[in-house]
């Protein structure tokens, strides 16, 4: 057994507590600020404890929005973000499951070509090909629509690769047994493969929900209409709005709302989150 | 790679592949091809004619001091983000691996910044460093340092580095912790019996055994700093003041969408594409290795 010295334990705890404080500091300040009056925020130094305006501030941003930021009510933006995150997560999982099934369980000409075509998308982050992708979406008339917000982000090499790896570990006997019992490919997929993939699906869902909710550049490009704005894409406008009117208490409330859903998902589904992260290495 | 038992319905296989392939072709392959094609064309300022100019756009880029500056900023930025993120996460992971009590709580409290979008992370740190209301700017002023990232390029770069690192620590921490927990206790105990001090045990045994994880994290962090930090830069500094926080990804966006220099923006996209391909190949060599020995 390795020796345990109390001094090491103390140093370890101190370092970790310091780490937790540094990691938590920005959230604490912004959370506290979101409960203040404007005058109290502007009196330096900024308050370190809660004010009494939480309800008023959150109600104001959810229902009306931040003054001078050229954005609409936050409730609508959160709904759009939710739609986008769910559509991307569910869409990516569905089409990746289907294509991995096709690649692993069927033999057809061009199978490897299909695999590599999908695999290539892994190398093309949206930021790299924004201009031509934007042109395609504009030509298809998908600007300012939920389809335009989600469909171009739905192809997923990572998820396809992950399901492929998983399917390869499924015993051949299961397929044989299913065939002997007269199950066709779709029946096999639905009744055997998908139930077996449950944990992978849950883990992927957590990661992809966060990915979808946190999209920034893409919604910024394809939406000009307030009705389709997502909450994360308005961050730059909030920063700019503070130059015109110092509504820091409202900006802080929007920031809290922008991170609340994905942070809750990580904390509540921590086990799936850790699995998803290590599986996808993303 | 393939099952011995397969289904015969070829049409069904193609049908199942169709959605993924269609989206990949329309929104990935075709635009990437367009970027490649545009990168060798020069469009006149009125958009009336284009002509084929071979590699002129690339030559123009590498002769452009602004592009070279963006390259320099990106290298400093990604090196700083990767180095500080990996070092602090490693320290925290070693400590969390050491403590017997409370490790799970520390873990929960350290991993959630992963869920915060880069742009939101940028806003949080903008708040802390804001010259009028920021608590850290206030503390620095008490210490005699005037902080204003709108005027001082070095401070602006520091701000985006801090925000980018903060968000990435949780990811690095989780991978280091998993790496540390997979090191057999017997190795550490054997070294302790042979009289190795805690420092020697770390540098001679633990650190070398963690090197695959460290290598993997370096690649992931560089990819992250190159591409995923767009939101931080766009939301907080817009590449300024001057060009001091203009990283490559931000420049592609700015030259393409604001300056409407299609050829130049496309050439920049192609260069980024090459960088990300090389990094992805590195990353996948790592995954393949892990899959084989797992």
Q: Per residue in B90-113, pLDDT tens? A: 999 999 888 877 788 888 888 889
Q: What does the block give as tokens for B203?
A: 């540098």
Chain A residue at shortest CA distance from B7: A106
Chain A residue at shortest CA distance from B262: A131
pLDDT at B1 over 60: no
pLDDT at B289 over 80: no
pTM to 2 decimal places: 0.88
Which of B6, B220, B2 is closest to A115 using CA atoms?
A: B2
> What span, in angstroms and rounded, lies between the C-alpha atoms of B260 and B254?
8
Nearest to B32 among A129, A154, A267 (CB): A129
Kindly indicate the confidence band of residue B254, based on its pLDDT and cuts at 50, 70 and 90: confident
Nearest to A136 among B26, B127, B249 (CB): B26
Residues in chain A where the model's pLDDT stays below 50: 1
* Cβ-based contacts of A122 with chain B (< 8 Å): 280
DSSP readout, chain B?
---SS-B--HHHHHHHHHHHHHHHIIIIIHHHHHHHHHTTEEE-TTSS-EEE-TTHHHHHHHH-HHHHHHHHHHHHHHHHHHHHHHHHHHHHHHHHHH-SSSHHHHHHHHHGGGGS-HHHHHHHHHHHT-TTT-HHHHHHHHTT----TTT-HHHHHHHHHHHHHHHHHHHHHHHHHHHHHTS-HHHHHHHHHTT--HHHHIIIIIHHHHHHHHHHHHHHHHHIIIIITHHHIIIIITT-STTTT--HHHHHHIIIIIS--HHHHHHHHHHHHHHHHHHHHHHHHHHHHHHHH-
> Residue B289 CB: number of other CB atoms within 10 A?
12
CB-based contact, B287 to chain A, within 8 Å: yes
Residue A264: HSE in the Cβ half-sphere, 13 Å Cα cutoff: 7
- Residues 217-236, chain B: which have Cβ within 8 Å of A? 220, 227-228, 230-231, 234-236
Q: With CB atoms and an 8 Å threshold, state whether B273 touches A210.
A: no
Model confidence pLDDT, tens digit, residues B58-74: 888 888 888 888 999 99
CA distance to partner chain A, nearest, from residue B239 (Å): 12
* Cβ-based contacts of A172 with chain B (< 8 Å): 3-5
- Max distance between CA atoms of chain A, in angstroms, equals 77
> Residue B183 CB: number of other CB atoms within 10 A?
14
Length of chain A: 282
Chain A and chain B share a number of CB contacts under 8 A equal to 311
Which of B212, B187, B217 is closest to B202 using CA atoms?
A: B187
Tell me the mean pLDDT in the region B262-271.
Answer: 81
Q: What is the ipTM of this complex?
A: 0.87
Tell me the mean pLDDT in the region B78-86.
Answer: 94
Tell me the mean pLDDT in the region B51-62.
Answer: 78
- pLDDT score at B81: 94
- pLDDT score at A126: 67
CA distance to partner chain B, nearest, from residue A191 (Å): 16
> Residue B257 CB: number of other CB atoms within 10 A?
14
Nearest to B98 among A8, A117, A274 (CB): A8
Chain A residue at shortest CA distance from B138: A45
Q: With CB atoms and an 8 Å threshold, state whether A132 touches B126.
A: no
Model confidence pLDDT, tens digit, residues A152-207: 888 888 888 889 888 888 888 888 888 888 888 888 889 889 999 888 898 889 98
Which of A214, A233, A231 is closest to A222 using CA atoms?
A: A233
Q: With CB atoms and an 8 Å threshold, state whether B16 touches A99.
A: yes
Nearest to A185 among B7, B102, B125 (CB): B7
> What span, in angstroms and rounded, lies between the C-alpha atoms of A146 and B193?
63
* Cβ-based contacts of A85 with chain B (< 8 Å): none
- pLDDT score at B161: 94
Kindly indicate the confidence band of residue B286, based on its pLDDT and cuts at 50, 70 and 90: low
Which of A170, A171, A166, A174 is closest to A199 using CA atoms?
A: A166
Percent residues over pLDDT 70 in chain B = 93
* Cβ-based contacts of A135 with chain B (< 8 Å): 31, 34
- pLDDT score at A3: 64
- pLDDT score at B85: 94
Q: With CB atoms and an 8 Å threshold, state whether A160 touches B125.
A: no
- Max distance between CA atoms of chain B, in angstroms, equals 79
Is A160:A118 a contact under the CB 8 Å cutoff? yes
Model confidence pLDDT, tens digit, residues A241-267: 777 777 888 888 888 999 999 999 988
Q: With CB atoms and an 8 Å threshold, state whether B12 touches A186.
A: yes
Nearest to B99 among A13, A270, A281 (CB): A13
- Residues 148-207, chain B: which have Cβ within 8 Å of A? 166, 169-171, 174-175, 178, 188-189, 192, 198, 201
All structural domains of chain B: 59-293 (1.10.3720.10)
Model confidence pLDDT, tens digit, residues B28-38: 888 888 878 87
Each residue of A217-231: b (16+ CB within 10 Å) or e? bbbbbbbeeeebbbb
DSSP readout, chain A?
-----HHHHHHHHHHHHHHHHHHHHHHHHHHHHTTS-HHHHHSSSPPSS--S-HHHHHHHHHHT--TTSS---HHHHHHHHHHHHHHHHHHHHHHHHHHHHHHHHB--TTHHHHHHHHHHGGG--GGGGHHHHHHHHHHTT-TTSHHHHHGGG---HHHHHHHHHHHHTS-HHHHHHHHHTT--HHHHIIIIIHHHTHHHHHHHHHHHHHHHHT--HHHHHH--SGGG--SGGGHHHHHHHHHHS--HHHHHHHHHHHHHHHHHHHHHTHHHHHHHHHHHT-
Q: Which of A101, A128, A147, A218 to mutate to test the interface with B (most CBs of B within 10 A)?
A: A128
Burial class (CB in 10 A: 0-12, 13-18, 19+), B41: middle
Rounded to 5°, the CA angle A264-A269-A270 comes to 100
Q: With CB atoms and an 8 Å threshold, state whether A114 touches B17.
A: yes
> What span, in angstroms and rounded, lies between the C-alpha atoms of B29 and A147?
19
Tell me the mean pLDDT in the region B120-135.
Answer: 87
CB-based contact, B128 to chain A, within 8 Å: yes
All structural domains of chain A: 34-280 (1.10.3720.10)
Is A69:A234 a contact under the CB 8 Å cutoff? yes
Cβ partners under 8 Å of residue B185, min gap 6: none
With helix as H, strand as E and coil as C, how does A199-226 read?
A: HHHHHHHHHHHHHHHCCCHHHHHHCCCH
Is A145:A228 a contact under the CB 8 Å cutoff? yes
């Amino acid at each position: 057994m390795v020796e345990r010295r109390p001094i090491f334990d103390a140093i370890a705890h101190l370092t970790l507590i310091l780490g937790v404080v540094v990691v938590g500091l920005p959230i604490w300040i912004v959370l506290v600020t979101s409960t203040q009056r404007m005058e109290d925020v502007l009196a330096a130094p900024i308050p370190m404890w809660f004010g009494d305006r939480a309800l008023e501030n959150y109600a104001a941003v959810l229902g009306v929005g931040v003054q001078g930021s050229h954005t609409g009510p936050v409730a609508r933006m959160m709904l759009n973000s939710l739609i986008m995150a769910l559509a991307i997560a569910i869409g990516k999982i569905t089409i990746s499951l289907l294509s991995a099934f096709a690649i692993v369980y069927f033999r057809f000409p061009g199978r490897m070509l299909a695999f590599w075509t999908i695999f290539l998308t892994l190398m093309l982050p949206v930021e790299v090909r924004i201009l031509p992708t934007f042109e395609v979406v504009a030509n298809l008339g998908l600007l300012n629509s939920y389809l335009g917000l989600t469909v171009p982000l739905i192809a997923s090499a990572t998820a396809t690769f992950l399901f492929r790896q998983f399917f390869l570990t499924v015993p051949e006997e299961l397929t044989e047994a299913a065939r002997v019992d007269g199950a066709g490919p779709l029946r096999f997929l639905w009744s055997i493969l998908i139930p077996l993939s449950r944990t992978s699906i849950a883990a992927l869902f957590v990661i992809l929900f966060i990915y979808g909710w946190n999209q920034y550049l893409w919604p910024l490009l394809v939406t000009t209409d307030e009705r389709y704005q997502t909450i994360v894409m308005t961050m730059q406008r909030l920063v700019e709005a503070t130059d015109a009117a110092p509504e820091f208490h409202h900006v802080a409330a929007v920031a809290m709302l922008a991170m609340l859903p994905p942070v809750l998902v990580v904390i509540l589904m921590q086990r799936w989150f850790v699995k998803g992260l290590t599986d996808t290495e993303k | 790679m393939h099952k011995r038992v397969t289904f015969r319905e070829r049409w069904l296989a193609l049908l199942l592949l169709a959605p993924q392939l269609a989206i990949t072709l329309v929104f990935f392959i075709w635009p990437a091809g367009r970027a490649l094609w545009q990168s060798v064309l020069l469009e006149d300022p009125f958009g009336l004619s284009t002509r084929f100019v071979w590699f002129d756009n690339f030559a123009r880029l590498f002769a452009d001091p602004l592009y070279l500056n963006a390259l320099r900023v990106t290298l400093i930025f990604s090196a700083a983000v990767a180095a500080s993120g990996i070092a602090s996460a490693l320290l925290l992971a070693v400590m969390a691996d050491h403590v017997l009590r409370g490790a799970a709580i520390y873990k929960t409290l350290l991993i959630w910044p992963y869920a915060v979008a880069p742009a939101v992370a940028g806003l949080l740190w903008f708040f802390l460093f804001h010259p009028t209301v920021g608590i850290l700017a206030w503390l620095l002023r008490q210490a005699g340092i005037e902080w204003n990232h709108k005027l001082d390029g070095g401070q602006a770069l520091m701000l985006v580095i801090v925000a980018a690192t903060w968000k990435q620590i949780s990811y690095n921490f989780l991978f280091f912790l998993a790496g540390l927990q997979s090191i057999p206790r017997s190795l550490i105990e054997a070294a302790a019996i042979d009289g190795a001090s805690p420092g020697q045990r770390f540098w001679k045994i633990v650190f070398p055994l963690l090197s695959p994880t460290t290598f993997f994290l370096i690649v992931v962090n560089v990819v992250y700093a190159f591409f995923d930090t767009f939101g931080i830069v766009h939301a907080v500094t817009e590449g300024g003041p001057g060009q001091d926080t203009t990283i490559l990804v931000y420049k592609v966006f700015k030259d393409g969408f604001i300056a409407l220099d299609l050829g130049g923006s496309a050439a920049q996209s192609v260069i980024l594409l090459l960088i990300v391909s090389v990094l992805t190949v590195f990353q996948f060599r790592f995954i393949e290795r892990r899959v084989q020995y797992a």
